[in-house]
Amino acid sequence: MLKVLVASKNLSKIKAVEAATLEVLPSAVVTPCPVQPSKQQPLSRLQTHEFAKDRINLMFRKNPTADYYVALEGGVESFEGCFYTFGVVRLWEPKTDYTIVTETARCPIPSDVYNELLENHSLELGLLIDQMAGEKNMKNWNGAVGFLTDGHLRRIDLFMQACIIAFSLMSNKKLDKYSRTSSF
């Protein structure tokens, strides 16, 4: 039985990893292992990737016995004058030291939301979306993308797709004959 640790207590992230492992590694047991490298909202693609990497390192120090470590980090970025939210999935297998990094689709966000995050570094996108939606803890369910797409896509949908890609690449034995480095 494979042990998969998820660097979160967020239900949409945990459920995304559970769905992906059920699809790709059905014998895996997924366990939340919450770690918090920063309370700051990642405001760029680079920061989002760095936060995911930090979560993996913190989780490994906390519990070094898993077969796989996965961190899912939500971030925002500015690109060509537009503003987006997206997610990063970082999967690490310590036995081989392979790391797979995938990203979710990006979803445009209003410029007012992005600017509010820039001005108030202690604020997270999830809290702003809660205010806009008049609800609480949407990041555990539909997330920002669920609100922005009027429920047609949910946060879990985007993270699940990125997780399936990561776990599939990690476990695909057909790729073993090709050169793999510490990062795929």
Taken in order of first residue, the domains within the chain and their CATH numbers are 3-175 (3.90.950.10)
- Higher-pLDDT residue of 132, 37: 132
pLDDT 10s digits, 144-180: 999 999 999 999 999 999 999 999 999 988 877 776 6
Average pLDDT over residues 59-74: 97
Above pLDDT 70, what percent of the chain? 96
CA distances from 176 to 134, 141, 180, 181 (A): 49, 36, 8, 11
pLDDT 10s digits, 69-128: 999 999 999 999 999 999 999 999 999 999 999 999 999 999 999 999 999 888 899 999
Distance of CA 14 to the CA centre of its chain: 10
Q: What is the CA radius of gyration of the chain?
A: 16
